[in-house]
Structure 1
Amino acid sequence: MSGLPPTTSVKRWLVTTNHKDVGLLYTITALFFLLFGGTLALLIRLQLWTPGAQVLSGAAYNEAVTAHGLVMVFWFLSPLAFGFANYFIPLQIGADDLAFPRLNALSYWMYLFSGVLLGISFFQGGTLNGGWTLYAPLNLPMYTPSIGSTGAILALTMFIIGSTASTVNFLTTIHHSRAEGMGLMDMPMFTWGMLATTWMMLFAFAAFLSALLILSADRIIGSLYFSATEGGSLLWGHLFWFFGHPEVYIVFFPALGVMLELFQTFSARRLVGRKWVIIAICLISVQSFLVWMHHMFLTTINLEIKTLMMATTIGISLPFDLLVFAMIYTLIKGRIQFTTPFLFAFGALLLFILGGITGVFLGAIVLDYEFRGTYWVVAHFHYVMFGGATALFGGAYYWYPKVTGKMYDEFLGKVHFVIFFISFNMVYFSMFLGWETPRRVFEYNPAFTTFHRIGTIGAFILGLSFFIMFYNFAKSFVAGPDADDNPWDYTRTAEWAISSPPPLENWDGRPSYASGKLEFVKDAVADGGHGHGNEASNYVLADEVDHPSHASIWPLMLSLATGIFLFGLTGIRSAVDVTQTEALLSTGISIVNPVYPVAFVAGTFLLIWSGVRWGLEDFYAPPMGIAERWPFEGIEKVKLGMWFFLASDVIVFGAFISAAVFIRVNAGWRTWEPLPAALPGLINTIVLLTSSFTVILALVFARRENRTGLLASLGATLVASMTFLAIKGWEWHHEIYDKNITLTHNPHGDPVQSSIYYITTGLHGIHVIGGMLIAGFLLYRAYNGAYMKDSRPVEYFGLYWHFVDIVWIFLFPLFYLF
């Protein structure tokens, strides 16, 4: 399927892979989750009208608080930014589409179905109720035993997987598909904001994914990571906040990029200190991973490390100072036009400054001891996250004419801003005034009642203000005046150089900045050949090039299969009483409802079927023949995407290995003896190293167009992977049934040791199974004559397989020797 139905057809929106369509789907879905999360927020504010009010039960209030935080952080703020990024980044950098259109559609459908799973969790005995930070041990079945709690965790896992796909896609696109003459330092500021965001996401989300996978294992099959007495709760804090602090900037940087674009457009001036602003963004991105422990000042971490974290926390504010002054000087020296987009951007700057200043208080150890766990933190958090993201609403007004071809009502837009800005401060500044109220608690000192009532009134006004925006956009779309292709006076980015709305394939000619300004070049060569960072390929005449594909049903089907699979997994959980768990996969598991195992099995088969059909689909997404690719010149786009994926997977396994080391150090390193015998591990090490050699042989034979050698090498790799799994299966059987070492029982020492061994090697085994399925697919395709003229798929599989083998090199000594 490659043809794209018209926009009036429902089928269009189910099969589209075009970046602009996917951007619209992201944006509309994110706005729905704004209403969902906002409704939960209003329920919270009603509960706080008076101390101890019972609009909601205590459990329902905790669920509302938790779900509100999760929805707004994960399903609204970032996806709204990614909606804009999907639509406009290819346009801003001169690309035809994102590097991997089907992967882009997959990331959207994973996002949507993860939100559906979260919604379903409310009807599975109640969703998570321990706060959006999911602190251990409150995230364990003994405190949150409902199936819905597990469902919410798996929904988060699905969301992170989809986000990782999107991250790989954007990084590859920005680094591989910039128009000729556009260096990294020449990119628009919104693109720069998204580049920094996706680099942070690549590593931060991987750390969070590892934490969610471990937590899922604790809840579903009864492992003991976060219930371990040897620092289980502290381990969650480290894993979560290694993700959680960069997440603040992951949410803010897209809004910052919008802010910078709007300040330039509506001040009629180039950004002051542009080079230094970019350097500051890069410094903040790196520093964001070095300050996570300031969220853990109240834990047992020693004072010296806390002091170091306080210093790094104060240090990260310095590049932010540079950003703020650059924006202020740009406005001072410009000719400001007070349009609706500018007002929202300027309001975001004011709100973020207040949020940043109040955050400095929390960076000081002594003050953090006083403010932690109070509404001071809640207010600061909203001024930074939601206040900074206010610029995204300015972006919605700014790009509305480009997307729709219609002009919004400027008066209604300004009314929306005034009501929004006043009500925002009513809600959140009142929290500063009543800061001594404990967070997540609706019993509070009656002396703060006035402040909470002001906040509740402001919250309802704030919620109603968005309906002004919705009405404005809907009315303008139906009956608004036609917008010029460029309705603004001082734009600087390429999306304003084409029609409104943009055409399906973006450009009439190839965008180029080689002359120092934007030009559209009519090439006789459509793909490959020459130019900056070109692919090494033969010249192909334009009328001989296949038309790029824009439609595929398999992203939808693969995401649906994942949703069904995870829904089934929610209902298969370990008994809360771990003393009932006698074996890894036997009596420790209870089947709660027959619907769940049926969904689990059906989802598994649908996953495999959809993946195979994806691989067999004839989908054409050509790379740009002439593009800027520094610092990745000469690297084909799929290989680059594979590198980014493996970099993320390195963090996943790194987090698992770090968790094992952390718990072992806390338990006493010398008190643990290796659980399994070393000989099976050594044999498996030899097997995997041999399989890496056979994969190299497969690539050599494919490049020599030797079909027999290719089949033999892939077959040998497949046999090696099966051998590895067979030995591992025997080893597990021996440990469980002969030595009575299970997830929750270790007769030779600490039971958490066996949990770490089974879960970490199990994750590696899942990677081996994935590689085995891919090798089987390649073998089938090679048997039918594939890869003789194009050996790249074999090479990409080799990169993955070598990574799996390298991981085992680390696991073997950790579990079999030390």
Structure 2
Amino acid sequence: MSDGTGTEANGGASTDGDREPRDLRSDGGHAEDHHGLPPMSSVKRWFVTTNHKDIGILYLVTSLFFVVFGGLLALLIRTQMWTPGGTILSPQAYNQTVSIHGLVMVFWFLSPFAFGFANYVVPLQIGADDLAFPRLNALSYWLYLASGLLVGVSFFQGATFSGGWTMYAPLNVPMYMPEVGASTAVLALLLFVVSVTVSSVNFLTTMHRMRAEGLTLRRLPLFTWSILLTVWMMLFAFAALLAALMILSADRLLGTMYFVTESPGGSMLWTHLFWFFGHPEVYIVFFPALGVMAEIFQTFTGSRLIGRKWFIASMVLVALQSFIVWMHHMFLTTINLQIKTLFMATTIGISLPFDLMVFALIYTMLKGRIRFKTPFLFAFGGLIVFIVGGITGVFLGAVVLDYAMRGTYWVVAHFHYVMVAGVTALIGGLYYWFPKMTGRMYDEFLGKVQFGLYFLGFNLLYFPMFVAWETPRRVFDYPAELVGWHRIATVGGFLLGISFLVMFYNLYTSIWNGEEVDGNPWDFTHTAEWAVSSPPPLENFPGRATYKGGFLDFVDRVTTDGGEETSEGYRSPLSADGTGTRSDGGTSTGAPDGGVVTGGTGLPAQRDEGGGEMAVAHGEGPSHASIWPFATGVGAFVLLVGLSGFQSGAFPDGVAGGFYMGTSLAGGLITLGSLFAMGYEDFHAPEMAIAERWPFAGVENTKLGVWIFLASDVVLFGAFIGAYVFVRFSAGWTGWHIVPHNSLPGLINTYLLLTSSFTVILGMVAAEHESRKGLLACLTATLLLGIGFLINKGIEWVELLHEGIWLDASIEGATFFLTTGLHGAHVLAGLVITVYLMWRTWGGAYMGDEKPVEYFGLYWHFVDIVWLFLFPLFYIL
């Protein structure tokens, strides 16, 4: 496949391997290509790219920066622990260090590191050209980077967050943590969750609707399986965390009282919301590493994974069970013994599928012939570390033992043996796919040196913590008789840090001077990314990937003269002489109709049945460049820096207040303008004409994306409604003071929203019949009804304010205003989309193409349905 620049798709390797690095390529050229994507040597490339391989590299590089950040904080912790009651850091500085170390490692390193591989590898493994929504993929990265930068900013705003990575209430409210930087850290995490949600919608749509022909879910590679299940868990778990963070942000910025000491059940509410996310997060972090282990074990033992279908079934079972074990983090609370016993049983139960997966990996090693290369060493080391972490976790799953060990260094050691087991395997994945990404081989000797330092340092760091388990967590004072164990741990921490320096040196020098790799450096690989050049070409494959014959093959694409790929009349093989090479060493078949095989080689184009010209090529091809995701990330960063100064319902006085207010306004305008521009931009991301789409064969990509987003929104609203019900029961259901004293405004708003849903349906019909005036009239009616809803809601709020009822007046007011305010924000977002649709309709869009109106309708109907729950809950019951 030509990349549009005259160079070969194998990466255009430099002939001077000692002076210039081989491009981390996917474009093959040095000039801007026909899609407006600059070469990888250009800085501009990295700000405008939407290509999944580029985004994967950005995720990997950025996450490795954050592991250095978090690692330096960890070394500060270990230095403080050199002696009991250490004085390197003040108590406040120590709390900040511990808290941000945990937050950075869990959120800004572990998952993004795994999803760097997911971005790069998953589309290749499933035979897709890119993810379903390339610009959303870029947007998720820029929001991730913006959120990480916000954490850095928080250190310069008095003090950053210091309440531990679990952010327990009531320590997380302004009464105990009044610094602006603490609010910035909370907003940073909130933005990170938005990034995760955008990414989740994208990956789920891609993996369910863009798998190569013949690649059923049952036949998916194990790494892709692990990512699929991870993303489903992320979609729901992070939605619960988003609700918790939004409520916490309201407590800090608006003065609500969900989590303050006086609030009924406030601290328990935070614990429920956080751990409903927090325990699935353990598997969200570890599942990609499990997929990496499976791929590496198969490659370096030369054996198919033993019990593959049971391995997959176990992962599915764990993903489902992960949402019913969260209360084992709450054994020390006042939850009754029967519920604690139930969750002890579910905790022990979830370990059983892991036993099966561990034995499958062990038996695969026993059956195969192991080659002890660096990727395998790290994958095997990760398995050993995880076994220790799993066994020690069983202790904490027992209620009686948890009473003794909770809050001690036993938990710290167990937690790191589980989480860093994932890191260990992912480092193996970095070595495994490094040749694929760079076209260069790493230094094997240095890789093994790193593994030795890493494995020794890790176990010296964390195993002594099991022995010194009586040390209290998050406290730098401990009994003097434990000094020796803590000093061993500190030495181990520095050895672990040195191992990362060896890795960085190895990979950096290998990019410049490593042995060139054109294709596959490993024996016994079995996934599609190894069937193309290293690095892969821009659009991944020299044709369309297919598994229809039971093996991976490539057939020529057939496109219309408009550039869209068609599912009719495609031909095989790649070459014009009928002898194209199959990935398994055989040869491709001839044309299905027995006629002349046509490859994209300058041979005469064919004609489709309608007389239009068809060519075996990409035609216009997909777009790969857009500046607007980056601009949106900049806007979000500026907006949240400004909002961080809004404390307890107001900006501060003076110059600081003016700065924060102006920054908020500027950030909001940049964000909104960038989103509008991205929506209006001419960006081409075609669906695959032929693909496996079960179970969503009859749903377009965008519609499925909307449905998946709404699924996460169900959890978001469910968490808000659940928080209201929990707090109300804690306060006494019948003694609760219902805030809206009159149900009439709520009833009027119900009729307004139901009517607006009907006008959206009429608008969809008008677009289908190409009635521009009809569509404009329906959208205008929807806009006016929505504005009427907000005006009526505003009048009601003003009346309540005059009665002295507001967000910060009582917990009753906080729950009412915040939950209905969240719904109102959804209505406002819908009205902004309505204005955009009206603007495009005025210009002649959507005539005969009602799908954009239908997708908006799905969102608008969901907003209306939510109100049907809120109305009786807040106005009647």
- State the TM bucket, normalised to the shorter chain: over 0.9
* 1:689 and 2:754 aligned: yes
| Post-superposition offset of 1:540 | 8.0
The answer for the alignment partner of 2:727 in structure 1 is: 663
* 1:5 and 2:38 aligned: yes
Select which of 746, 768, 785 maps to 1:720: 785
* 1:474 and 2:508 aligned: yes
In the alignment, the residues of structure 2 paired with residue 553 and residue 447 of structure 1 have an alpha-carbon distance, to the nearest angstrom, of 59
Select which of 560, 565, 575 maps to 2:634: 560
Q: Percent identity?
A: 62
* Change over 3 Å in CA distance of 1:530–1:317 after alignment to 2: farther
**Equivalent residue letter for 2:307:** G
In the alignment, the residues of structure 1 paired with residue 568 and residue 303 of structure 2 have an alpha-carbon distance, to the nearest angstrom, of 36
* Change over 3 Å in CA distance of 1:568–1:588 after alignment to 2: closer
The answer for the alignment partner of 1:67 in structure 2 is: 100
In the alignment, the residues of structure 2 paired with residue 726 and residue 462 of structure 1 have an alpha-carbon distance, to the nearest angstrom, of 59
| Post-superposition offset of 1:531 | 10
Give secondary structure in 2 for the equivalent of 1:389. helix
Give secondary structure in 2 for the equivalent of 1:541. strand
Give secondary structure in 1 for the equivalent of 2:554. strand
The answer for the alignment partner of 2:831 in structure 1 is: 772
When structure 1 is superposed on structure 2, of 387-396 and 364-373 the one drifting more is: 387-396
The answer for the alignment partner of 1:113 in structure 2 is: 146
The answer for the alignment partner of 2:51 in structure 1 is: 18
Q: Contact 1:211–1:240 (CA<8 Å) still a contact in 2?
A: yes
In the alignment, the residues of structure 2 paired with residue 387 and residue 61 of structure 1 have an alpha-carbon distance, to the nearest angstrom, of 26
* Change over 3 Å in CA distance of 1:299–1:522 after alignment to 2: same
The answer for the alignment partner of 1:445 in structure 2 is: 479
In the alignment, the residues of structure 1 paired with residue 788 and residue 679 of structure 2 have an alpha-carbon distance, to the nearest angstrom, of 26
The answer for the alignment partner of 2:676 in structure 1 is: 612
Select which of 263, 266, 291 maps to 1:257: 291
In the alignment, the residues of structure 2 paired with residue 391 and residue 544 of structure 1 have an alpha-carbon distance, to the nearest angstrom, of 38
The answer for the alignment partner of 1:360 in structure 2 is: 394
The answer for the alignment partner of 2:869 in structure 1 is: 810
**Equivalent residue letter for 2:806:** T
Q: Contact 1:531–1:627 (CA<8 Å) still a contact in 2?
A: no
Give secondary structure in 2 for the equivalent of 1:511. strand
| Post-superposition offset of 1:592 | 5.1
1:213-246 CA deviation, whole Å, 9 max, x = no partner?
Answer: 0000000010011114310000000000000000
| Post-superposition offset of 1:446 | 0.6
In the alignment, the residues of structure 1 paired with residue 653 and residue 716 of structure 2 have an alpha-carbon distance, to the nearest angstrom, of 26
The answer for the alignment partner of 1:550 in structure 2 is: 624
In the alignment, the residues of structure 2 paired with residue 476 and residue 235 of structure 1 have an alpha-carbon distance, to the nearest angstrom, of 50
1:469-548 paired onto structure 2 within 5 Å: 469-525=503-559, 527-529=565-567, 541-542=614-615, 545-548=619-622
When structure 1 is superposed on structure 2, of 171-180 and 587-596 the one drifting more is: 587-596
In the alignment, the residues of structure 2 paired with residue 590 and residue 370 of structure 1 have an alpha-carbon distance, to the nearest angstrom, of 51
* 1:413 and 2:447 aligned: yes
| Post-superposition offset of 1:593 | 3.2
* Change over 3 Å in CA distance of 1:198–1:559 after alignment to 2: same
Q: Contact 1:310–1:365 (CA<8 Å) still a contact in 2?
A: yes
* 1:632 and 2:691 aligned: no
**Equivalent residue letter for 1:549:** S
Give secondary structure in 2 for the equivalent of 1:272. coil
* Change over 3 Å in CA distance of 1:586–1:76 after alignment to 2: closer
In the alignment, the residues of structure 1 paired with residue 723 and residue 127 of structure 2 have an alpha-carbon distance, to the nearest angstrom, of 43
The answer for the alignment partner of 2:463 in structure 1 is: 429
**Equivalent residue letter for 2:739:** L
The answer for the alignment partner of 2:83 in structure 1 is: 50
In the alignment, the residues of structure 1 paired with residue 557 and residue 51 of structure 2 have an alpha-carbon distance, to the nearest angstrom, of 23
The answer for the alignment partner of 2:248 in structure 1 is: 215
| Post-superposition offset of 1:94 | 0.3
TM-score norm. by structure 1 comes to 0.96
Q: Contact 2:226–2:291 (CA<8 Å) still a contact in 1?
A: yes
**Equivalent residue letter for 1:656:** F
**Equivalent residue letter for 1:702:** A
In the alignment, the residues of structure 1 paired with residue 304 and residue 745 of structure 2 have an alpha-carbon distance, to the nearest angstrom, of 64
| Post-superposition offset of 1:791 | 1.5
| Post-superposition offset of 1:556 | 0.4
| Post-superposition offset of 1:530 | 5.4
Count the aligned residue pairs: 798
In the alignment, the residues of structure 2 paired with residue 589 and residue 304 of structure 1 have an alpha-carbon distance, to the nearest angstrom, of 53
The answer for the alignment partner of 2:573 in structure 1 is: none
The answer for the alignment partner of 1:579 in structure 2 is: none
Give secondary structure in 2 for the equivalent of 1:369. helix
Give secondary structure in 2 for the equivalent of 1:593. helix
In the alignment, the residues of structure 2 paired with residue 545 and residue 722 of structure 1 have an alpha-carbon distance, to the nearest angstrom, of 45
Unaligned runs of at least 5 residues, structure 2: 1-33, 571-608
In the alignment, the residues of structure 1 paired with residue 117 and residue 422 of structure 2 have an alpha-carbon distance, to the nearest angstrom, of 16
The answer for the alignment partner of 2:845 in structure 1 is: 786
| Post-superposition offset of 1:388 | 2.6
In the alignment, the residues of structure 1 paired with residue 796 and residue 862 of structure 2 have an alpha-carbon distance, to the nearest angstrom, of 23
**Equivalent residue letter for 2:657:** N
**RMSD of Structure 2 on Structure 1 (CA):** 1.6
1:258-291 CA deviation, whole Å, 9 max, x = no partner?
Answer: 0000000001000000001101000000000000
| Post-superposition offset of 1:587 | 10
| Post-superposition offset of 1:484 | 4.1
In the alignment, the residues of structure 2 paired with residue 141 and residue 21 of structure 1 have an alpha-carbon distance, to the nearest angstrom, of 41
Select which of 660, 665, 669 maps to 1:601: 665
In the alignment, the residues of structure 2 paired with residue 531 and residue 641 of structure 1 have an alpha-carbon distance, to the nearest angstrom, of 29
**Equivalent residue letter for 2:411:** V
**Equivalent residue letter for 2:825:** I
* Change over 3 Å in CA distance of 1:106–1:494 after alignment to 2: same
| Post-superposition offset of 1:743 | 1.7
TM-score norm. by structure 2 comes to 0.90
1:410-436 CA deviation, whole Å, 9 max, x = no partner?
Answer: 111111101100110000001101000
1:372-411 paired onto structure 2 within 5 Å: 372-411=406-445
1:10-409 paired onto structure 2 within 5 Å: 10-227=43-260, 228-409=262-443
1:588-636 CA deviation, whole Å, 9 max, x = no partner?
Answer: 9999532111100111111221111111100000011100000110210
Q: Contact 1:573–1:589 (CA<8 Å) still a contact in 2?
A: no
**Equivalent residue letter for 2:614:** L
In the alignment, the residues of structure 1 paired with residue 53 and residue 395 of structure 2 have an alpha-carbon distance, to the nearest angstrom, of 42
The answer for the alignment partner of 2:11 in structure 1 is: none
Select which of 571, 577, 582 maps to 2:645: 571
Unaligned runs of at least 5 residues, structure 1: 575-584, 746-750
| Post-superposition offset of 1:389 | 2.3
**Equivalent residue letter for 2:213:** E
Q: Contact 1:222–1:588 (CA<8 Å) still a contact in 2?
A: no
In the alignment, the residues of structure 1 paired with residue 514 and residue 344 of structure 2 have an alpha-carbon distance, to the nearest angstrom, of 52
Q: Contact 1:24–1:83 (CA<8 Å) still a contact in 2?
A: yes
| Post-superposition offset of 1:528 | 3.9
